[in-house]
Amino acid sequence: MPTEKLKSLLQELKSELRDAKNADEETRDLMLSLDTQLQAVLNTSSPIDPTIEDTLTELESRFAVDHPIAERCVREILDALNKMGI
């Protein structure tokens, strides 16, 4: 999957959470961490942070009930990274 699709998914996820009224501080911190980790994947050749999958899995479970669009984005990001071998 091209990095442009990954960037698009990340932007969609950020937009969805910006509009979310009930996202707690811990979820927002996880999103910040995810953003930092994905920016490193997309913009540098530095080693991939092995915790990125854990961050995505945690966010996916947090969004399952209240944020179905965000959950889908996280699942697609996770799938894209897996297809990229990350």
State pLDDT tens for residues 33-78: 888 888 887 777 667 777 888 888 888 898 888 888 889 999 998 8
Count other Cβ atoms within 10 Å, centred on residue 70: 25
What's the angle, vertex CA 68, arms to CA 27 and CA 85, rounded to 5?
A: 75
pLDDT for 1: 45
Rounded to whole angstroms, how far apart are CA atoms 40 and 65? 29
Please state the pTM of the whole predicted model.
0.79
Rounded to whole angstroms, what are the CA distances from 71 to 9, 10, 25, 45, 68? 11, 12, 17, 28, 5
Q: Which helix (H) or strand (E) holds 78?
A: helix 68-83
pLDDT for 16: 81
